[in-house]
Structure 1
């Protein structure tokens, strides 16, 4: 088995030291191959060696400026460090270099949301949902983004898809409750607030929403 493939297998098995050893051997054998540097960076990232991982991604980009996976991996590191502006730049570069995966579109959208650029985020979240319609978190964030732009019917559609896949997504139920409340459908709003509380009894916002509706019904 080729060394990079073997290293990826070790990563999938959680054998980080074995993976690192194999990737380092691959780098020594072919020091101009960007892929080995990306893979070694991914091992470093997985074990929390963030700064070292970034250096390996930078090395990969230096060897191959079209190494889209290096930009994507660096973007994830920057996002996790809450450096959302740099994360956005990396995910945009990954897209320009041919990384047209649901995850890259999703993470670019999430970076823009963190930068309070919800309108700009929407098409990337939409594309992520189109490419991976079975990922409840992508559907949830897309639905949430639609709701924040007051596209309520479209938001309900995406949030309903989310709970079809993950019926125990408490935040999706809560936001469905809010959306139905916005449409003055108190029966459906109450149903989803109660679902959220059944899943997560300490969901304070769902509890508050439920109380508001019950107070209105008792008036």
Structure 2
């Protein structure tokens, strides 16, 4: 099938369907590979199927319970469903496993910014930037999660490197 001739949006759907089908086949062949379940969760999450994504992450975590990356991915899916406390518990566990996991700090900063908990947002963003300055500053520049604190001088200083 030539995906270039599909209407807008349909091409993306077919790629998504292919990705899920490929992962399901791979999982059928290797059901105990946590990374396959993790990738399945990522793909499902990107297409708005967060409940199914969480189930995939649950299976991945049964296989690798202390995988910070899987926990971080699952936390994001939990957050999209409004399960904030569970997401925060995941991010806290991520940071217990890997205190240098910048993505967990960044995601916590986003969450706190959206909750207008400015001090906690800045504290977590600062830690994320300390760990990965270029990437986290670049992400935060355009991340709408920070719109509520964008005018804060401390936020501006973090982005400027000061």
TM-score by length of 2: 0.71
CA distance in 1, matches of 2:120, 2:158: 18
Aligned to 2:80: 80
Highest CA radius of gyration, 1 or 2?
1
Correspondence 1:61 to 2:61: yes
Deviations 1:164-198 (A, max 9, x none): xxxxxxxxxxxxxxxxxxxxxxxxxxxxxxxxxxx
| SS at structure 1 position matched to 2:82 | coil
The 5-angstrom pairing of residues 106-145 of structure 1 reads: 106-115=106-115, 117-130=117-130, 131-134=132-135, 135-138=137-140, 141=146, 144=149
Distance in 1 between residues matched to 2:51 and 2:134, nearest whole Å: 34
Gaps of 5+ in 1: 1-13, 163-219
> Gaps (5+ residues) in structure 2?
1-13
TM-score (norm 1): 0.54
Work out the CA distance in 2 between the residues paired with 1:129 and 1:69.
18
Whole-angstrom distance in 1 between the partners of 2:41 and 2:156: 40
* Superposition CA RMSD, Å: 3.3
**C-alpha distance after superposition, 1:141-167 (max 9, x if no partner):** 4x93893xxxx4x444235x39xxxxx
Closer/same/farther in 2, CA of residues 155 and 57 from structure 1, 3 Å limit: closer
Q: Which has the higher contact order (CA 8 A, sep 6+)?
A: 2
- How many corresponding residue pairs? 145
1:13-162 to 2 correspondences below 5 Å: 15-98=15-98, 100-115=100-115, 117-130=117-130, 131-134=132-135, 135-138=137-140, 141=146, 144=149, 147=152, 152=153, 154-158=154-158, 161=160
More displaced 10-residue stretch of structure 1: 113-122 or 123-132: 113-122
Describe how 1:163-202 pairs up with structure 2 within 5 A: none
Residue 80 (structure 1) shift: 2.3
Range with greater deviation from structure 2 (106-115 or 26-35)? 106-115
With over 3 angstroms needed to count, the CA separation of the structure-2 counterparts of 1:92 and 1:98, relative to structure 1, is same
Instruction: Give, in whole Å, the separation in 1 of the partners of 2:149 and 2:117.
Output: 14
